[in-house]
Amino acid sequence: MIKTIQTTPFDDQKPGTSGLRKRTRVFMQPNYLENFVQSILLELKETGGNSLVIGGDGRYYNHKAIQTIIKMALANGIEHIHVAKNGLLSTPAASHFIRKYGISGGIILSASHNPGGIDEDFGIKFNTANGGPAPESVTNSIYYKTRNITHYLIADIPDIDMDSMGTAQVLQGTIHVFDGIYDYVQLMEALFDLARIKELLENGFSLRLDAMNAATGPYLKAIFQDRLNMGEETLLRCIPLEDFGGIHPDPNLKYAASLVKSVVEGHSASSPDFAAAFDGDGDRNMILGREIFVTPSDSLAILAANATLAPGYRAGLKGIARSMPTSQAADKVAEQLGIPCFETPTGWKFFGNLLDADLVTLCGEESFGTGSNHVREKDGVWAALFWLNILAVTRKSVKELVQGHWRRFGRNYYSRHDYEAVDTSLAQAFMKRSEELLPSLNGNTVFGLAVKTTDNFSYVDPVDHSMTQRQGIRIVFEDGSRVVFRPSGTGTQGVTIRLYLERYETPHGNLSLHTQEAVQALVNWTEHVFDLRKSLHKTAPDVIT
């Protein structure tokens, strides 16, 4: 039986850079989830879609939300519904499944790196038939539908058994419960030389991989335990928990501090040679080596410089893409390789057109996200395997590989300072004042630094020629250094203002400074010119990476 439920719009369902994210209790309000899902399904049907993938990162409310989405998809005439077993599906695995089987789209339930639980965060986003996050034209259309919704459709049926794989006919649709791990692992086996990685690991190379009680745990077990025969001590926190065990599943220096301390700050023989941590839905990664933290910007550049060492990339790279705030380290590699490097706004959806047009092979963001043309999402486990493949071929340590890269291309000292949960009105006023100040800075030396150019970054997509404006304040200095700041769209409380600091040192310059020491002059400049901390009512950044 199909029910038609009358409803009224909510005024806060505009998707951000990665879908709609709110507190879990907001989604649990009557009709809140249903309104947004109905709007997605209408969008899918308007484009002729008749198949859907559903899964999520296992956080609180996932199972109940998935059951609701299944019933609504059936009621809306979706003919083929693919649901990951136990509802667990990493974001890159969802992207691969959509692409491999030609699915019309996917609904992914995740708030990525945000904490989970009934009093924490929940999220939902729509991926299109290319496997990537819906572009702005689609999310704007979905938002329009949420603003004008009057009713939604839902099937009055019992819950679906998601614990057992199989296919069943329900009403006029087919529901297929599938293994969300198998296809992804097959893809990794095709891209990387697992035999060579296994040989490396069997010859004394040690590692630690931290799933942070989130979605990558089962994927890590399938690859590193089942295929590479690594012991359980190699894998940390690999059982997905609804509240991620009370931790913040964000793989950075603050929220994965215990791993960082044991690897980067460890000086004993028991310290692992390589470590990585992953976020809630498996699309972010942090790479560590003994006595060294690899910035995400450097990670992208190093993978690009050594890409042909992995089987899936032996043909070379078509190009590289990075988000505007990401350091220019990848630009140096692209220049030497003779390939283009594209600078896009923040948000993985902006890489989609470039990947689909075969203009780039690798892409990355400073926010611990790296990926390639194998899917249309960033991919944490893929990044770790790529690093291990390179290390297995070169037989260098992480530190040797990174320092060798700097000696070849120079070093982009880089740091991000996050000011979290800033009052929205304060954040908006700060950004407005900052933009108004830019013309007075152009061509002038301020606080000892010569300003070359300033702007609020705009992007024209080279494929569809769409324009995206006002993507962040950007100040470029004569020596190549940069200061960038922008509001982030991934939080659920207030606004996070991110300050990005970059200083370039040539291959023959000082490559051994502490990062915060190297960028301190840029911090001082920003405080002097923009009065950032006072304007945001902050005494210090909440997170430094």
3-state secondary structure at position 302: helix
327 flagged as catalytic: no
How far apart CA 440 and CA 424 sit, in angstroms, is: 26
* Strand 467-468, strand 495-505: pairing: unpaired
Counts for the chain of helices (H) and strands (E), in that order: 17, 27
Annotate 123-169 with DSSP letters as a single string. Answer: EEEEE-TTSSBPPHHHHHHHHHHHHH--EEEEE--PPP--SS-EEEE
Name the maximum alpha-carbon separation found in the chain. Answer: 73
| Catalytic residue, candidates 18, 90, 110, 112 | 112
Q: Which DSSP string do the residues of 48-90 spell out, in sequence order?
A: T--EEEEEE---TTHHHHHHHHHHHHHHTT--EEEEEEEEE--
Task: Provide the token pair at 458.
Answer: 């705009």
On the CB side of 521, CA atoms within 13 Å amount to 14
Element (H, E) at 298: helix 296-305
Residue with tokens 């729509």: 126
Exposed, middle or buried by CB within 10 Å (0-12, 13-18, 19+), for 446? middle
Q: CB of 509 within 8 A of CB of 516?
A: no
**How are beta strands 495-505 and 482-488 bridged, if at all?**
antiparallel
Q: Could you give the strand order of the β-sheet that contains 543-544, starting from the edge strand earlier in sequence?
A: 445-446, 449-456, 473-477, 482-488, 495-505, 411-422, 543-544
Quote the CA–CA distance of 423 and 420 in Å, as a whole number. Answer: 9
**Which value, to the nearest 10 degrees, does the dihedral of the CA atoms of residues 305, 112, 115, 278 take?**
-30
Residue 89 token pair: 């599906």
Dist. CA 482–CA 526, nearest whole Å: 11
Is 76:151 a contact under the CB 8 Å cutoff? no
Positions marked active-site: 112
